[in-house]
Structure 1
Amino acid sequence: MNELNDIIEEVLSKEKRNKFTFLTGAGISADSGIPTYRGSDGIWVKGTKYHKPEEFGTYKYFIEHQEEVWQYTLFRKKMIENAKPNESHKILADLENILGDRFHLITQNIDNLHRRAGNQNIYEVHGNYREVKCSMDCKDILSIPSNLKGKDIKEELRKDEIDSLKCSECGNWLRPNILWFDEYYDEKTNKKFSALKVAKNSGILFIVGTSGATNLPLEIARTTLKYGGYVVDMNIEDNHFTNLLKGKKRALVVRKRSNDILPVIKEQIEKSIEQGI
């Protein structure tokens, strides 16, 4: 841990490129009881049908099965609303208070737990379940209709819910404001370019609970390295970041759980600030 402490002190002492950025994924919410997306507990179950996420979680599937996708979305919404921020979420909120505008959070999670824990400076690169947009992209991003509540897995949509899920501009279905597997990152929904700008100006990027299975997280890590920042991979297993970081001077791998390592990072940052570093 001495190497990590030295890196934290170095970044804190800089006038420029001194930002602390945390890139989080589903692993950080696992302790809150939310299944990871791709794991064995992340396989979608709908009635007697079984879907792998790469098949179900697509725009193509939504266009053909709008009610089914919304039923599952509202089932997952109920699961998320019943979950509570865990200790890792709370520590990241504390770190934003400690670091102020030097803190940035980029998350792939759509579960809103970071906001509920108190974080505000967040880039939700996979969207979120708080919002909807027209499936034909003809209106701005909107708050999810207030009559849409979480449901049990087999609970059908009511007529008033279906009516509220139609675009007032064109009459087509509204969809969750999330990134599906057959879609591309953009700025409007996913803050792609804003996230990459944060990566460019990061003195250190902590990767927490994400394997880097999609291209933007890898590009964020690659950008931080390119512009001279450190990248710390904090996952319990090797992942898609492993090859990217192999042999890099400004890369550090920590194979520990987030709730074990984040308190250590917080303590070191507080200690360094108190010492005037």
Structure 2
Amino acid sequence: MKQQLEEIIHQVYRKEKRNLFTFLTGAGISSDSGIPTYRGIDGIWVKGTQFHKPEEFGTLRYFRQHPEEVWQYALFRKKMFENAAPNESHFELAEIEGMLKDRFHLVTQNIDNLHRRAGSTRLYEIHGNNREIKCSNGCKGIIGLPEEVKGKNIDEDLTEREIELLTCPDCGHWMRPNILWFDEYYDEKTNKKFSALKVAKNSGVLFIAGTSGATNLPLAIAETALKYGAYIVDINTEDNHFTELIKNKKNKLIIRERSTEVFVVIKEIIKNLNKDLM
């Protein structure tokens, strides 16, 4: 594995064009922080929405019918995220960013804020985040979640003050979390769709970790990177949709190890490469 990574990294490092080092991460990256993945046996959809299928509950349609219930669940997740700490994978990526600077980009499906808390800044949160809200009726822009709205236990009700703070001052409709739901489409404003695809187009290598590729934009990012000649490095413990995409391609490396261990190797290769070129 190390030798293959060295060859890929050295080749991309010396390129003048389409030479970005891009990392695509998903829920598996945060599992070591104690945050359940979404669809596993102990997944967050199972724990939080035992009476609903994710595709039913996690929709704008359901929110409009049951806004308080969805907000209770959103604030339950907020509390979970705040009680979690970034793990070694998050910190390794932040260190890699520090070495690569503007040639580093991180695209994440996670809304938990752990990459930011670990120090990553060149970050595209393509499923939104739990720090922000917007009007469910489409008014104006995206704003920060008021500090008075705290994380909750799953059975805690919203207070009258919280309901007031989560009401759009312009139209009176509910404000909603600034995240992507199952019945919505990726866009640039919330999901940085076109920015992420532009990064993919200019990448020399795309490292994929902690995600199976079950949604459209992550797969499109990998397809775009491949189309423009990038290497794809699939770092997951199991085969997935990305594996199927790249299995017959030349510019690929499939690694079945934990992301943290692989990130340490990548960091050391880049560190040594920087020393050699000084």
TM-score normalised per structure 2 = 0.97
Q: What is the alpha-carbon distance in structure 2 between the residues aligned to residue 103 and residue 165 of structure 1?
A: 36
Q: CA deviation at 1:46?
A: 5.3
* Correspondence list, 1:49-68, <5 A: 50-68=51-69
Instruction: Give the letter aligned to residue 41 of structure 2.
Output: S
Which runs of no fewer than 5 residues in structure 2 stay unpaired? none
Contact between 2:39 and 2:46, CA under 8 Å: does it hold in 1?
Answer: no
Identity of aligned residues (%): 66
Distance 2:47 2:19 in 1: 45
Work out the CA distance in 1 between the residues paired with 2:196 and 2:211: 16
Show CA shifts across 1:175-208 (max 9, x none): 0000001111000000000000000000000001
Change (3 A) 1:46 1:231: closer
**Structure 1 counterpart of 2:238, which letter?**
E
Q: What's 1:109 paired with?
A: 110
Q: CA contact under 8 A between 2:127 and 2:180: conserved in structure 1? A: yes
Aligned 8 A contact 1:126 1:179 in 2: yes
Q: Deviations over 1:91-123 (max 9, x none)?
A: 000011100000000000000000000001100
Instruction: Tell me the SS of whatever aligns to 2:51.
Output: strand
Instruction: Show the 5 A alignment for 1:207-222.
Output: 207-222=208-223
In structure 2, the residue matched to 1:224 is 225
- TM-superposed CA distance for 1:14, in Å, is 1.1
> What SS class does the counterpart of residue 194 from structure 2 fall into?
helix
Provide the rounded CA distance (Å) in 2 between the counterparts of 1:195 and 1:274: 30
| Secondary structure at the counterpart of residue 277 of structure 2 | coil
C-alpha separation in 2, matches of 1:141 and 1:40 = 34
Structure 2 residue 16 is the aligned partner of structure 1 residue 15: yes
Where does structure 1 lack aligned partners over 5 or more consecutive residues? none
Do 1:133 and 1:140's aligned partners in 2 also have CA atoms closer than 8 Å? yes
User: What is the SS of the residue equivalent to 2:111?
Assistant: coil
Q: Is the 8 A contact 1:44 1:56 kept in 2?
A: no
Q: How far does residue 51 in structure 1 lie from its aligned partner after superposition?
A: 2.1
> Aligned partners of 1:170, 1:217: CA distance in 2, in Å?
34
- Which residue does the alignment assign to 1:184? 185
CA contact (8 A) 2:201 2:224 kept: yes
The residue aligned with 1:155 is: 156
What is the CA-CA distance between 1:50 and the residue it aligns to? 2.0
TM-score normalised according to structure 1 size: 0.97
Contact 1:145-1:164 at 8 Å conserved across structures: yes
Query: How is 1:60-79 mapped onto 2 (pairs within 5 angstroms)?
Result: 60-79=61-80
Superposed CA deviations along residues 10-45 of structure 1, whole A, max 9, x for unmatched, are 001112111100000000000000011122222344
CA distance in 1 between counterparts of 2:172 and 2:47 reads 29
State the SS of the aligned residue for 1:50: coil
| 1:96 matched residue in structure 2 | 97
Asked if the contact 2:107/2:196 (under 8 Å) is kept, the reply is yes
**3-state SS of 2:205 partner:** strand
Cα drift, residue 52 of structure 1: 2.5
Q: RMSD across aligned C-alpha pairs, in angstroms?
A: 1.2
1:32 aligns with 2:33: yes
**SS class of match (2:176):** strand
Distance 1:240 1:180 in 2: 20
**For this pair of structures, how many residues does the alignment match?**
276
Tell me if the contact between 1:93 and 1:117 (Cα under 8 Å) persists in the aligned partners.
yes
Residues 45 and 51 of structure 1 are in contact (CA less than 8 Å); yes or no, is this contact kept in structure 2? no
How far apart, in 2, do the equivalents of 1:183 and 1:220 lie? Answer: 18
